[in-house]
């Protein structure tokens, strides 16, 4: 007989749970046989006692199998996806998915919304008129097959156990646990029926992981569990001590992505992160033999316009304008107030508190203080000065986009406080390591 209290007590006492016990518990979470207070007690027991890698694999697979698991056997190429742990100005998915599609992969990317200082991929696409982030399975599959990629939100029947458990963890102070984070992230990704996965684990002032050691521990857990679940996976640990793109804000980051794909403007750091993630995905998907060849393949589809073409197909396929790539400025919302932000002093940019830049976007209305808050898609910052840049007294550190003068003033002060100047340029490393399967 299945007794949830026995499983809770076993984990509370630091014992190892079997795959059958974990599977039964997660099945009970979805069916209602496990009550919310029991699920909360289980999460707290895991929080304090943690799980070994075998338990984490079992938890991830049980959560994956709690709903529909997609199958793409009809496609003639590898199915690849990427997950980022979140940051500021992180619009990598917008370029990475069409690059992979242009190289012969298929990318059914199930993304999320932003909360707090980090931007959400779906919120960026909501800035595009007509684009549907919530679609039925038939349209999702059609666009993946025809455009090579589709970036949409999680459906109710993909990993429903994660939705239930995450809501409980959110109100019981049990979100911050590597075992539970691993299961939550990977169950949704693996339910998409992937052959390969690349992870971008962020570290720094704008990331949830503040130290390289924390980021490495999470990356190792994710890579080992995903490979243990049968999906070829590696993780890059990348810097988030400054916004990755030169823009932060939904429509502004979409515009930045269009400029990147068309070759109008590509920030050096952003291009390097995109190409490195793309290369690892192409290798895992069997589309390139080594990293140098993979980087070149990704660069080629950027430069010849094929990646931009795939992006345009995805947008029109999901309800957006058919001419978006050539007329993005016409379609994307614009703020009433656009003005430069200057510091009134000279020096090299030596530090940027990326979290505070993100909170500036929230103040302007471009991010959420609570789930369900409406967004102003036009607001944010662009032309953000990067670390190491020389700033004169009248050199702007950014351009601010707002719809309200009072909010603009508050966000401007937040942005100014986020920047520090010094006598010599200082730039952190862009990557802190790559985690491969042992």
Given a contact cutoff of 8 angstroms between Cβ atoms, the answer to whether 405 and 329 are in contact is no
Residue 322 among the catalytic residues = no
Q: Which residues of 108-142 are buried (b: 16+ CB within 10 A; e: fewer)?
A: bbbbebbbebbbbbbbbbbbbeebbbebeeeebbe
Segment 257-261 long-range contacts (CB within 8 Å, at least 24 positions apart): 257/91, 257/94, 257/95, 257/124, 257/311, 258/308, 258/311, 258/324, 258/325, 258/328, 260/95, 261/94, 261/95, 261/98, 261/302, 261/307, 261/308, 261/311, 261/325
DSSP state letter for 352 = E
What values do phi and psi take at 298, rounded to 5?
A: -65, -40
Residue 83 among the catalytic residues = yes
Residue 156 among the catalytic residues = no
Q: Would you give the distance in Å from CA 303 to the centre of its chain?
A: 24
d(CA 432, CA 429): 7
> What spatial distance separates the first Cα and last Cα of the chain, rounded to whole Å?
38
Cβ neighbour number for residue 438 with a 10 Å cutoff? 7
Catalytic residue among 81, 123, 195, 239: 81
Segment 208-214 long-range contacts (CB within 8 Å, at least 24 positions apart): 208/85, 208/86, 208/118, 209/85, 212/237, 212/432, 212/433
Residue 401 among the catalytic residues = no
What are the distances in angstroms from CA 122 to CA 16, 35, 360?
38, 31, 19
Catalytic residue among 66, 84, 179, 288: 84
What values do phi and psi take at 135, rounded to 5?
A: -130, 160
Q: Exposed, middle or buried: residue 422 (CB in 10 Å: 0-12, 13-18, 19+)?
A: exposed
Residue 399 among the catalytic residues = no
Catalytic residue among 56, 64, 82, 216: 82
Catalytic residue among 11, 169, 216, 295: 169
Catalytic residue among 66, 111, 121, 316: 121
Residue 211 among the catalytic residues = no
Catalytic residue among 64, 113, 117, 188: 188
Catalytic residue among 11, 64, 189, 313: 189
From edge to edge, which strands make up the β-sheet containing 232-239? 80-84, 196-203, 232-239, 431-435
Residue 84 among the catalytic residues = yes
Given a contact cutoff of 8 angstroms between Cβ atoms, the answer to whether 225 and 181 are in contact is no
Q: Which residues pair with 352 in a beta bridge?
A: 419
Cβ neighbour number for residue 344 with a 10 Å cutoff? 8
Residue 184 among the catalytic residues = yes
Residue 238 among the catalytic residues = no
Catalytic residue among 184, 233, 288, 316: 184
Catalytic residue among 83, 113, 280, 313: 83
Residues taking part in catalysis: 81-84, 121, 169, 184, 188-189
């Amino acid at each position: 007989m299945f007794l949830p209290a026995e499983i809770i007590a076993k984990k509370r006492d630091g014992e190892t749970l079997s795959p059958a016990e974990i599977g039964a518990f997660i099945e009970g979470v979805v069916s209602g046989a496990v009550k919310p207070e029991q699920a909360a007690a289980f999460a707290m027991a895991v929080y304090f006692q943690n799980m070994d890698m075998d338990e984490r694999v079992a938890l991830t697979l049980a959560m994956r199998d709690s709903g529909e698991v997609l199958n793409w056997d009809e496609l003639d190429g590898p199915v690849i996806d990427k997950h980022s742990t979140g940051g500021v100005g992180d619009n990598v998915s917008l370029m990475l998915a069409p690059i992979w599609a242009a190289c012969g992969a298929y990318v059914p990317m199930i993304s999320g919304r932003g909360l707090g200082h980090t931007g959400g991929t779906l919120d960026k696409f909501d800035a595009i008129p007509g684009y549907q982030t919530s679609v039925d399975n038939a349209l999702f599959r059609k666009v993946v097959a025809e455009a090579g990629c589709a970036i949409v939100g999680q459906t109710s029947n993909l990993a429903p156990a994660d939705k239930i458990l995450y809501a409980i963890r959110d109100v019981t102070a049990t979100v911050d646990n590597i075992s539970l984070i691993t299961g939550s992230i990977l169950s949704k990704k693996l339910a998409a029926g992937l052959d390969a996965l690349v992870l971008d684990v962020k570290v720094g002032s704008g990331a949830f992981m503040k130290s390289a050691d924390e980021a490495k521990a999470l990356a190792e857990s994710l890579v080992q569990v995903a490979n243990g679940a049968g999906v070829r996976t590696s993780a890059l640990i990348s810097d988030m001590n400054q916004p990755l793109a030169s823009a932060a804000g939904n429509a502004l980051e979409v515009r930045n992505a269009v400029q990147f794909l068309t070759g109008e403007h590509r920030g050096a750091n952003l291009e390097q992160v995109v190409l490195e993630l793309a290369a690892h995905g192409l290798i895992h998907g069997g589309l390139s033999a080594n990293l140098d060849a993979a980087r070149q393949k990704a660069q080629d589809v950027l430069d010849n316009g094929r990646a931009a073409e795939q992006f345009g197909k995805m947008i029109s396929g999901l309800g957006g304008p058919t001419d978006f790539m050539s007329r993005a400025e016409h379609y994307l919302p614009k703020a009433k107030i656009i003005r430069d932000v200057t510091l009134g002093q000279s020096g090299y940019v030596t530090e940027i508190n990326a979290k505070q830049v993100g909170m500036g976007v929230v103040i302007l209305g471009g991010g959420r203080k609570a789930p369900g808050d409406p967004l102003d898609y036009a607001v944010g910052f662009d032309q953000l000065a990067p670390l190491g840049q020389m700033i004169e007294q009248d050199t702007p550190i950014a351009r601010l986009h707002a719809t309200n003068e009072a909010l603009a003033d508050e966000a401007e002060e937040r942005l100014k406080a986020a920047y520090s100047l010094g006598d010599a340029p200082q730039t952190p490393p862009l990557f802190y390591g790559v985690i491969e399967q042992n």
